[in-house]
Structure 1
């Protein structure tokens, strides 16, 4: 066996082990999260309830009379929403880093989340129903896309995306988004203000199956698009000029991926509010473990994002007794220090910003 074959087989084994570990950890976190709350339900009873719905009666059902109803009406929709939103945010962060060509790109950092929240806030405050029940999500998508296009356009110079300009433009867009949210909070009534506060803090409280059924196909479409584009993103990582020589339409690829990111983040923000740093932390960690190939990174990022947000939501419900903490605050507590470390690491590798 040649050295290249041995290296490939080792990488394949590492990828399989990572996928298996993430999958098992995600399943365990789902069972534990769904069973945790004022009404505690053991993991085997949670799994028994799930299996019972598909006709398998291997494990015991919840012993409490209200246990099964609690799981299916409250717990499972929330856990499913956490996994879907986490996967969508992580994959969107991976795509942002790929199309901008640097590890600092993330939907929250460059303003797409705050832009999407402003769009959703407009729909809430002015009671817009142009697109029926999809109005909030559509407005979040449009404004999130607009924020992304502004940052993308202003961070390019001489055919390259500048890291510093990207971050600084993102700061400016976030500031404008914050001002827009503040104005909408001022203009809205009490109910609208409460909903806007929800957008700013991020929360999965009150998640329903109807919301899961809306967001699930959107996340699925985004993941499929990411898988299809993975090979071209690998070529893009070699540099724009090399990618063009190899037949990649770089600008078209970037525009399509920007739409995919706006779709993923717009859907997530529409139902969960602003949850920062998931799209920064997870893709970077997975890239450190797996290397630069995007096909396995899409799967790993989706699993890692789902796991992180499921655990974050569990922490949000349990850290403070009888209270539901903002999940966006918890992810920022994790992501903030990681972002500082990543900035220092990037600066050292590039020999300074100058």
Structure 2
């Protein structure tokens, strides 16, 4: 059966608009990453930034007329940090979008539902008490287990308290988040005082510990879990309508919702392990994206990843430049912006 001409034209327009959005988004991300590497306490010209990167990728392609110190700043410090910022922002954004779908709650976010707090608890446990008993994988593993544990506690509390509504689920998440963070604070209090300052800065969200050797972990998790979520876009669309509609389409609602929570815990746990607690990215970005591309999750998820990456890169630029040469924890920047957005969202009239 052929589609009406009006439908074909509308579909073509949506496709062109999506392509334009992606093209513009990738261009903005490339510019943002370049500026993130260029600006800071020691400014590096953009031409030098690109020259160093090209020379590292293809040795000898550019005449090295820069100092070894500038090369170290660009390649060893700022570029891994900018890439980590983009990965964390993209990961938290798609988690927030997915949670908002399966809970049908516009306020769902890994930070508000206690998932980030659980990841922080696991990471602090590894950093201050257990040690790296399986090497560099220890912190991401325990962060994931902590995030998963917090997720299961939130789900259990919501069942015990009959908190089936969207608002009550968020309240259950906030309550569990406070409890888990209290446990994390106890771990800090009982830990080595010499490591406390580093952990506290990490708890506020920081990207200064980014290293090339560690970027593979958030990259692999983001790509693998992101592809799974994108493949589940049709199911996420159905979940936004209601459990009954999703069930009639053959979706095992309870199992699928739990799967999304576990995938969200995995992404959040690994991101928290390398960046600390960064809140409100998963709350803000999906709402902004839906205003641009609509509610189809085949578009919402990739555009959310792109916008989340851009947002956190710029948040980190602000964190490094507002009080240069000192770094403000990036979680403070996202908290300030996210808090204002949260208030706006609460006061927004539903359609």
For residues 249 and 163 of structure 1, the distance between their equivalents in structure 2, rounded to whole angstroms, comes to 20
The one of 188, 191, 195 equivalent to 1:192 is 195
| Superposed CA offset, 1:37-83 (max 9, x none) | 23322223222322333339777756344322321111111111111
Runs (5+) with no aligned partner, structure 2: none
Larger displacement relative to structure 2 (311-320 or 242-251): 242-251
Q: 1:329 to 1:5 in 2, by over 3 A?
A: same
The answer to whether the aligner puts 1:219 opposite 2:222 as a matched pair is yes
The one of 286, 289, 292 equivalent to 1:289 is 292
Larger displacement relative to structure 2 (138-147 or 1-10): 1-10
The one of 104, 108, 124 equivalent to 1:105 is 108
Q: 1:4 to 1:174 in 2, by over 3 A?
A: same
Map 1:109-188 onto structure 2 (within 5 A): 109-155=112-158, 161-188=164-191
Cα shift at 1:159 = 10
Aligned to 1:309: 312
- Report if aligned partners of 1:156, 1:162 keep a CA contact under 8 Å in 2: no
| Superposed CA offset, 1:164-190 (max 9, x none) | 211211221121022112211211112
For residues 144 and 220 of structure 2, the distance between their equivalents in structure 1, rounded to whole angstroms, comes to 15
The answer to whether the aligner puts 1:321 opposite 2:329 as a matched pair is no
- Report if aligned partners of 1:131, 1:138 keep a CA contact under 8 Å in 2: no
Q: 1:279 to 1:166 in 2, by over 3 A?
A: same
Cα shift at 1:161 = 4.2
Q: 1:328 to 1:161 in 2, by over 3 A?
A: same
Secondary structure of the equivalent of 2:130? Answer: coil
Aligned to 2:6: 3
Larger displacement relative to structure 2 (225-234 or 54-63): 54-63
For residues 133 and 231 of structure 2, the distance between their equivalents in structure 1, rounded to whole angstroms, comes to 32
TM-score (normalised: structure 1): 0.92
- Report if aligned partners of 2:163, 2:169 keep a CA contact under 8 Å in 1: no
Aligned to 1:78: 81
| Superposed CA offset, 1:148-171 (max 9, x none) | 122234446999941221121122
- Report if aligned partners of 2:53, 2:75 keep a CA contact under 8 Å in 1: no
RMSD of aligned alpha carbons: 2.2
For residues 60 and 107 of structure 2, the distance between their equivalents in structure 1, rounded to whole angstroms, comes to 48
For residues 221 and 250 of structure 2, the distance between their equivalents in structure 1, rounded to whole angstroms, comes to 29
- Report if aligned partners of 2:41, 2:324 keep a CA contact under 8 Å in 1: no
Aligned to 1:238: 241
Aligned residue pairs, count: 348
The answer to whether the aligner puts 1:277 opposite 2:269 as a matched pair is no
For residues 120 and 209 of structure 2, the distance between their equivalents in structure 1, rounded to whole angstroms, comes to 18
Secondary structure of the equivalent of 1:349? Answer: coil
- Report if aligned partners of 1:137, 1:267 keep a CA contact under 8 Å in 2: yes
Aligned to 1:262: 265
Cα shift at 1:3 = 2.5
The one of 21, 24, 29 equivalent to 2:32 is 29
The answer to whether the aligner puts 1:344 opposite 2:341 as a matched pair is no
| Superposed CA offset, 1:4-56 (max 9, x none) | 22222222222122211211111001001111123322223222322333339
For residues 168 and 158 of structure 1, the distance between their equivalents in structure 2, rounded to whole angstroms, comes to 11
For residues 156 and 290 of structure 1, the distance between their equivalents in structure 2, rounded to whole angstroms, comes to 34
For residues 110 and 253 of structure 2, the distance between their equivalents in structure 1, rounded to whole angstroms, comes to 20
Runs (5+) with no aligned partner, structure 1: none
| Superposed CA offset, 1:269-298 (max 9, x none) | 101100000011111110111111111111
For residues 30 and 170 of structure 1, the distance between their equivalents in structure 2, rounded to whole angstroms, comes to 34
| Superposed CA offset, 1:244-277 (max 9, x none) | 1111121221122111111110011101100000
